[in-house]
Amino acid sequence: MTRFNYEQFEQELDEIKFSTLDKVGQQDANHIRRVIRQQRFCSWGGRILLMMGLIHPALWVVGIILLSIAKILENMEIAHNVMHGQYDWMNDKHINSKTYEWDIACDGASWNRIHNFEHHTYTNVIGKDRDFGYGLLRLSDDFRWRVKNLWQFITYINLSILFQWGISYHELAGERVFIGKKKEDRDQRVPHSELKQRFFSKGARQLIKDYVIFPLIAGPLFLWVIVGNLIANLIRNLWTSTVIFCGHFTEHVHTFTEESIVNESQGQWYYRQALGSSNIKGGKLLHLMTGHLSFQIEHHLFPDMPSSRYQEIAPKVEAVFKKHNLHYNTGSFGKQYLSVVKRILQYSLPTKAVA
């Protein structure tokens, strides 16, 4: 068997990365500012229409749709990418990775620690990447089967419904803040007291905003607004969780051991990202609404590149994969989602765990 040429693989992907980053500028700034304007229009338009349900119920429905779009755009195309530092070069204090706080229950600093550092550094490395299965789902033979895995598809549905709260609790669960045995070798970078304070503070602000302040502004129409906000949050949760699962947990996504990444080169890191990610085929609207995470392969390879560039470089990345006989894992939304469901169901049953 021919040895995989990690050095050449690294050079070819680096060429794509740096040649693209050299072009980043006004076009990218215009893109993110345009999306922010669109998001604000949808947000305020949706909130106004929620209070017009008594005039005609159709207005209330349109309000929910607009507010759902606003929440999805804010989470996916704006917040996720801003918090990755993709727009720090603009020196705009409102869209800076160190100061941006997004519109979900999860504290931004917590997400940055778990996602930006752990997940993107140790993608799919069992024991290092706590995003693999989120500590709730058995998605490979690397984990011993337990009885609770029999109903893990129901667990997945519940996680999707409450996704913003699952992401918020993710770091606390990993650190065993409330329940579970503490890991003695765990590098605790943030005191548990601070984790608790941030968790409850951010969660309370979200609940008060959506279910107290805006309903009070609506006066006698407060119930229309409460229910509308609840549905919009549900739609956002279901959409974001589905997109994320389709990018990370399709049937052929690989896992890795801690031993396999010792002295890992940049080329080997690229190789691991290539095997640990999957894309979703679609048009420009789909890519925008996924925050361009429909190009999860490109995002894992180049997480600090402005996301709107992923569609441009995807054919080049695919060509490099083909040259090195690597599978470029992509498919329609339906195909990738069915693949996720198959994986969840497959590992809900007893299978032999890796020793």
pTM attached to this predicted model: 0.92
Confidence tier at 175 by pLDDT (50, 70, 90): low
* Tokens (6 digits) for 264: 């890992």
The pLDDT value recorded for residue 182 is 63
Higher pLDDT among residues 187 and 173, named by residue: 173
Q: What are the tokens at 183? A: 């890991």
- Contact predicate 150/138, CB 8 Å: no
Name the band, by pLDDT with cuts 50, 70 and 90, for residue 27.
Answer: very high
Q: Is the pLDDT of residue 354 over 50?
A: no
> Could you give the C-alpha distances from 344 to 123, 124, 153, 287, 332, in angstroms and in order?
19, 16, 6, 25, 19
Computed over every residue of the chain, the mean pLDDT equals: 91
Report d(CA 321, CA 172) in Å as an integer: 38
The pLDDT of residue 174 is 62
Residue for token digits 């759902």? 68
The CA angle 209-293-306, to the nearest 5 degrees, is 90
The residue assigned the tokens 């693999």 is 132
Average pLDDT over residues 77-106: 94
pLDDT over 80 at 87, yes or no: yes
- Tell me the pLDDT band of 55, cut-offs 50, 70 and 90: confident
pLDDT above 50 (res 1): no
- R_g (Cα) of the chain, nearest Å: 21
Answer yes or no: is pLDDT of 177 > 80.
no
* Tens digits of residue pLDDT in 234-283: 999 999 999 999 999 999 899 999 999 999 999 999 999 999 999 999 99
What is the pLDDT confidence band of residue 195, given thresholds at 50, 70 and 90? Answer: confident
Which of 105-109, 120-124, 256-260 shows the lowest per-residue confidence on average (mean pLDDT)? 105-109
DSSP structure class, residue 220: G
End-to-end alpha carbon distance in the chain: 26
Higher pLDDT among residues 75 and 171, named by residue: 75
| pLDDT exceeds cutoff 70 at 342 | yes
How many percent of the chain have pLDDT more than 90?
Answer: 75
Report yes or no: 326 and 274 within 8 Å, Cβ to Cβ: yes
Closest CA to 83 of 109, 104, 106: 109
- The candidate with the shortest Cα–Cα distance to 347, out of 149, 160, 132, is 149
Phi, psi of 91 (to 5 degrees): 55, 40
Report residue 350 as tokens: 């007893």
